[in-house]
Amino acid sequence: MEMLKNLMETITGMGATAILPLVIFILGLVFRMKPGAAIKSGITVGIGFIGLGLVVGLLNSSLQPAIEYYSKVGSGFTVADIGWPAVGAAAWVAPFAALVIPVGIVLNLILVRLKLTKTLNVDIWNYMHFLVPGALAYFVFDSFIIGFSVAVALSIAALFIGDLIAPRWQKYYGLEGTTCTTMIHIGWTLPFAWVVNKIIDYIPGLNKLDVDLNSVQKRLGVFGEPAIIGVIVGALLGVLTKQAITTIVPMAMGVAGVMVLLPKVVGVLMEGLNPIGKSAKEIMQKQMGKDAELNIGMDCALALGDPATVTVTVITIPLTMLCALVLPDIKIFPIGVLMSIIYMTTMTVMASNGNVIRSIISTLLFCVVVMYLGGYVAPGATQFLAGAGVGLQGQGTDFVLTGPWEILTYWLSTVLH
């Protein structure tokens, strides 16, 4: 078991840019692609994810002056928002962690073969979204069975949710043959955004506002181009946070660069995925009938090519920081939450069909709810992190610990213990 655990930690520790090329290459061979074509697809997907990481890093560094400004203004926060990398790493301390990935993969293959799901989840990197809730359950209940069951159940749930959202995902983002299996977002962010949109439908005036970047571009011409919007939004954020002109200009250009580059790196990703999807579809139809479908389950980052996600992110980040400062009883300053907003927007933008106003509202409300829930679950999260050997002064929490399944797990532990 220890050897298997070390192997799984080594594999996932390499990150998505190393794991995905290998997984895509193996899938290519399984779906009878020529070895050379399979290698090319795998490497291309890896390059695409490297590009995504670089561009998202550019966004984070461009917005860092604004985040630091609000961090200095705030005080009185009692819970540390430690971020998903630390939480994800801590989850591997659970004794069942090494079993979850192979068991999840085998069950996925069986369900595909039985035609019970159309989703083949290749996003091994994001198995952390199954491991973290499982590890939380293990530490608060001190039960191997409960922790392992939670993790495996969520890996299966992600497949069925992936099936449900695939049509909307493919139609809005144009990502044919794929779906999203990032559980914290498809099982938490997306349903929340759908509910908010339904509520907005009943609010007079607000329900008539339909602002999407395509219509903005048509009305404003060159000033509606993603690059120009990025410069304007980045510069405004710099001015609002009282930055020097020597900081405002790099912020503006950084945001503009992200707006332009993200669609291009997603294009590289899809260049690698399309041949796999085509081969998979052909094999599935030969073996299981012409009506057989197979969607490749991927990280929500695949949807970052839509400029609306970046626009909503840049506008929502300062609003979220402001809410953290002015709303009562918020215990965390949301550093980790802020870094997750760009991924949240892949769901909120899709739920609102690109309506920027609705997307900003749903993303902001979601961040507020997450900040409150992060404070609520902090005692259980701290117990999990301490058990995993993460040294904390006081309490710690993170966005990935605020999913409904984790809140339910923690609540049950307080009731039953």
Could you please report the per-residue DSSP string of 370-408? HHHHHHHHHHHHHHHHHHTT---SSEEE-GGG-SHHHHH
Q: What is the mean pLDDT of residues 201-208?
A: 91
Domains of the chain by residue range:
2-51+85-416
pLDDT at 123: 80
Q: Is residue 5 predicted with pLDDT exceeding 60?
A: no
Q: Is residue 378 predicted with pLDDT exceeding 60?
A: yes
pTM of the model: 0.84
pLDDT at 86: 75
pLDDT at 6: 64
Q: Is residue 216 predicted with pLDDT exceeding 70?
A: no
Of all residues in the chain, the percent with pLDDT exceeding 70 is: 89
pLDDT at 289: 65
Q: What is the mean pLDDT of residues 168-194?
A: 95
Q: What is the mean pLDDT of residues 38-58?
A: 86
Q: Is residue 7 predicted with pLDDT exceeding 80?
A: no
Are the CB atoms for 131 and 153 separated by under 8 Å? no
Of all residues in the chain, the percent with pLDDT exceeding 90 is: 37
Q: Which of 106-115, 193-202, 209-218, 257-266 has the highest mean pLDDT?
A: 193-202
Q: Is residue 49 predicted with pLDDT exceeding 70?
A: yes
CA atoms within 13 A on the CB side of 149: 7
- Give Cα separations from 119 to 44, 107, 109, 132, 153 (angstroms): 22, 12, 9, 22, 15
Q: Is residue 331 predicted with pLDDT exceeding 60?
A: yes
The Cα–Cα gap between 187 and 157 comes to 9
| 160 against 52, higher pLDDT | 160
Q: What is the mean pLDDT of residues 145-149?
A: 95
| 93 against 256, higher pLDDT | 256
CA angle 361, 362, 364 (to 5 degrees): 65
pLDDT at 288: 67
Are the CB atoms for 112 and 293 separated by under 8 Å? no
The Cα–Cα gap between 381 and 395 comes to 8
pLDDT at 290: 64
The Cα–Cα gap between 57 and 238 comes to 18
What single-letter DSSP state applies at residue 203? S
For the stretch 267-278, pLDDT in tens is 888 788 788 777
pLDDT at 3: 64
Q: Is residue 294 predicted with pLDDT exceeding 80?
A: yes
The conformational region for residue 97 under phi > 0 = left, psi -120 to 50 = alpha, else beta, is alpha
Confidence band, pLDDT 50/70/90 cuts, at residue 212: confident
Confidence band, pLDDT 50/70/90 cuts, at residue 223: low
Using CB atoms within 10 Å of the CB of residue 221, give its burial: 0 to 12 exposed, 13 to 18 middle, 19+ buried. exposed
Query: Which 3 state secondary structure label does DSSP give 178?
Result: strand
pLDDT at 46: 87
| 330 against 11, higher pLDDT | 330
Mean per-residue pLDDT over the chain, rounded: 86
Q: Is residue 200 predicted with pLDDT exceeding 90?
A: yes
Which H helix or E strand runs over 367? helix 356-387
